[in-house]
Amino acid sequence: NAGVTQTPKFQVLKTGQSMTLQCAQDMNHEYMSWYRQDPGMGLRLIHYSVGAGITDQGEVPNGYNVSRSTTEDFPLRLLSAAPSQTSVYFCASATSGVAGELFFGEGSRLTVL
Amino acid sequence: AQRVTQPEKLLSVFKGAPVELKCNYSYSGSPELFWYVQYSRQRLQLLLRHISRESIKGFTADLNKGETSFHLKKPFAQEEDSAMYYCALSTGGFKTIFGAGTRLFVKA
């Protein structure tokens, strides 16, 4: 079982470029989410999904798009990268039920120049 | 608005000393609270959840609804407890928000 897999692990972009961070889970979890981790600010929720075809905004959604066409995949798109999006991004998934535990990927470190 | 506050960015204690990592939350509903831990070069992982009322690696946390707190405690800190600790609040529908985190450093 791979759990939650994120690619790429590292990426450097120039301002204005676009890219997609990939996230896949093999645990058949309904819930998936994206966070960004910044020093002194902890993890902030970007977008989340409670099932295929359903997505919603988190705390800091601006500049990011998501889609959930399958249960397994939840890609995060940056359409026009900005230096403020330099961060470490984490994908997480959870199964249904009360107080579901979040399972995290290893993280993707993105630098926007 | 839902919010999780961890007032200490860094907590440094000696091995064998008690440790308490503070967490306060703001939520009008019935909260589900968690502590997550990130050890060096490892994935973020669940440490414990309030609904289970369990002790993991000697850590406990009690939900105090009156003070809206969920502090993490351990009577005798170990060097291997050095890590980043995040308090988290689930507001239903699986949406989970995190505090800013506290870095615990246990000195030999």
Mean pLDDT of chain A: 93
Asked if residue A98 has pLDDT above 70, the reply is no
pLDDT at residue A1, rounded to an integer: 66
**Tokens, residue A21:** 């961070």
User: Is A88 in CB contact (< 8 Å) with chain B?
Assistant: no
Convert the pLDDT of each residue in A62-77 to its tens digit.
999 999 999 999 999 9
**Nearest Cα to Cα of residue A101 among A3, A8, A1:** A3
Mutate to test the interface with B, among A5, A9, A37, A43 (most CBs of B within 10 A): A43
B19 bridge partner residues: B74
Convert the pLDDT of each residue in B11-23 to its tens digit.
999 999 999 999 9
Report the pLDDT averaged over residues A4-25: 97
pLDDT at residue B28, rounded to an integer: 85
SS3 assignment for A41-89: CEEEEEEEEEECCEEEECCCCCCEEECCCCCCECCEEECCCCHHHCEEE
pLDDT at residue A54, rounded to an integer: 93
pLDDT at residue B26, rounded to an integer: 94
B77 three-state secondary structure:
coil
**CA pair distance B53, B33, nearest whole angstrom:** 11
pLDDT at residue B62, rounded to an integer: 87
Report the pLDDT averaged over residues B50-60: 85
**CA pair distance B27, B43, nearest whole angstrom:** 27
Mutate to test the interface with B, among A32, A33, A56, A104 (most CBs of B within 10 A): A104
Q: Look at B51 and A99 and tell me if their CB atoms are within 8 Å.
A: yes
**CA pair distance B99, B75, nearest whole angstrom:** 23
CA of B76: how far to CAs of A36, A98, B20, B106, in Å? 32, 31, 10, 10
Asked if residue B86 has pLDDT above 90, the reply is yes
pLDDT at residue A87, rounded to an integer: 97
Residues of B in contact with A44 (CB under 8 A): 97-98
Asked if residue A97 has pLDDT above 70, the reply is no
B90 bridge partner residues: B32, B96
Choose the closest CB to B100 out of A30, A40, A98.
Answer: A40
Residues of B in contact with A92 (CB under 8 A): 44
**Nearest Cα to Cα of residue B47 among B97, B86, B15, B16:** B86
Confidence of residue B51 (pLDDT cuts 50, 70, 90): confident
Mutate to test the interface with A, among B39, B44, B52 (most CBs of A within 10 A): B44
Select the more confidently predicted residue: A77 or A100: A77
Confidence of residue B29 (pLDDT cuts 50, 70, 90): confident
User: Is A94 in CB contact (< 8 Å) with chain B?
Assistant: yes
Say how many C-beta atoms besides its own lie within 10 A of residue A103's C-beta: 21
